A and B are shown apart, each in its own frame.
Chain A
Amino acid sequence: MPGLHEFLMLGAVLFCLSITGIFLNRKNLLILLMCIELMLLSVNMNFIAFSYFNADIVGQIFVFFILTVAAAESAIGLAIVVVLFRNKNTINVNDLDTLKG
């Protein structure tokens, strides 16, 4: 059984992966959403690890909440992406620079 250390490493690796995904991905908005999900999962991983090793159930309950919110969030995110595609006919991140000053 790996220890707390390994689990935290896993969480950190997941987090870094997701950040890298956000930065490196210049094309697809969907991948961006997935990276955000991954980021949340890495946080969840930390919660579960601490919860297990500290024998505190609260952390795992918290994870359920985060998962629920994340599901809702990705539903809204996907819906926005659909509407966006309908309007702009693209989900290419480089084309979505309306906020450019």
Chain B
Amino acid sequence: MRPSRHARAAVLFTLLAAVPSHAGRGITVKGSDTMVILGQRWAETYMNQNAGQVVMVTGGGSGTGIAALINGTTDVCQSSRAMKPDEKLKLRDRFQTTGIEIPVAKDGLAVYVHTSNPVRELSLEQLRGIYMGTITNWKQVGGSEATIILYSRENNSGTYVFFKDVVLGGRDFSPRAQTLPGTAAVVNAVSKDANGIGYGGGAYAKGVREVALKRTATAPAVLPDVKTVQDGSYPLSRPLYFYLRKKPEGDVRRFVDWVLSDAGQQLATQVGYFPLR
């Protein structure tokens, strides 16, 4: 289970009390909850390899991270979405810069069905209908006559929010969607449910089949893999960003360079994301 935000906040407060964030060597990283684990893994490994370097990572959400960047309370902001124009405007008012955007990894979300399910591809619109509860039978999307059983993630997960934003356009999931703790549980449930459908990180897909997705009804169907996620042709892929106020220098630069190096990218793959290259 991920450390609670409460615990993270407590750790942060303790650290802030002990080491004021702008007193020298510490690099503060704040933002996206989706990226917290990734950021923490980067920080741990980086600190192990570079004695004397301190990197402090906290979550709070992409919006919180960007606000912290604008307020000058964090060195690096992790964000799973691009900065909005009004956020850039605020940053320019404060610091005469629109910020530096550095993609650091790619995230791709797979849609799974049972291995016996004849449905091989879905358009985003069909997927939206399925998860909003307007499409309830597999027959409506070219499958067999059977009720679709929806599996979803708990509403605290970044994956849930991403799916809700991108696929449902911010609208509500069908109340019949069953929410399970963790992608692994979703995969397990779908692997045992002939009429189930679920979503989650591509790295987990064992014992289930990934569905190819189409942006529109006529677009080509694309399966998630390193290539399609990297070039963005897979519809449910997104870049994950670091945002900085100015061109990185000194310790911050060393950290960012390391994250972008093969070693850092390798680590991203281990945590379940896709490398940039």
Task: Tell me, yes or no, whether A binds B.
Answer: no
